[in-house]
Amino acid sequence: MTASVASFADLLQSAVTEPGILSNCYRAFYGYSVGNQLLAWSQCVQRGIAPGPIATFMGWKEKGRYVRKGEKALTLCMPVTVKRKADDVDADDQPEMFTRFVYRPHWFVVSQTDGQPLAAVALPAWDRSRALEALNVTEEPFAMLDGNCQGYARQRTIAVSPIAAMPFKTTFHEVAHVLLGHTTEAEQADSETTPRSLKECEAECVAMLCCAALDLPGLAEARGYVQHWYGTNPIPERSAQRILKVADQILKAGRIDDAEAAS
């Protein structure tokens, strides 16, 4: 991270402890990754800028709006395709091109611009079945005898209890276990496995992000669950990045664009 941009672990910690951030982030910046939503939101708050739709300088120009003189751009994380140097160590064993993530100050919020009125954009719908299919996750009938069990996951299969109190939150939690690799870690070396407390924290953080973004029941319970499992320990940066990536995968997998919704 650059000196002016918070770490993803810090951003996630704020989301866990401060109600309202997650829902507001998604409404303002849903077209971007969850990590960039939190990055944009934190910079708006720090600088006293009203959150809202964002675009590059040229992006706003194409919409008939212009960035006001003196406005400072927001920094977001973006992928860049790089060609590997011929003298790199072990270059023969690596692909010639690879992707790295860099931080660039290229984006401006609508409140930093003037010009043509911006058309209102409705948030996209989200479909559970569509998401499971796109993520290659299979759902099986719930077979646990324990009435307190809300759901479970193994390999790339999940099951949600028919009497689960919050079925969507449970779905997000179990799918997160699959996408985070928790259901296959038994096959790895002991030194590479994730402690159970951290697994549960990671999965429930994903559920919390998804519930908040989609305005579904379970956000308060998810936040309390994370705080119970993790206590006062900080969320590791690597875990925070994994959590944000998986939440983004789930949200994008079930998203229905306007054209599909109208058909």
> How do the domains of the chain map onto residue ranges?
8-115, 125-258
Considering the entire predicted model, what is its pTM?
Answer: 0.84
Candidates 74, 15, 18, 32; CA nearest to 243 is 15
Q: Express each pLDDT in 207-233 by its tens digit.
A: 999 999 999 999 989 988 887 776 667
23 alpha carbon, distance to own chain's centre: 12
- Token pair, residue 221, equals 């319970």
- Residue 39 banded pLDDT, cuts 50, 70, 90: very high
Tell me the pLDDT tens digit for each residue of 119-168. Answer: 877 888 999 999 999 999 999 999 887 778 899 999 999 999 999 999 99
Averaged over 236-255, what is the pLDDT? 94
Instruction: Identify the pLDDT of residue 189.
Output: 35
Query: What φ, ψ does residue 29 adopt, rounded to 5°?
Result: -130, 30
What was the pLDDT predicted at 128? 97
Tell me how far apart the alpha carbons of residues 116 and 221 are, in angstroms, rounded to a whole number: 42
pLDDT of residue 260: 60
Q: Does pLDDT of 244 surpass 70?
A: yes
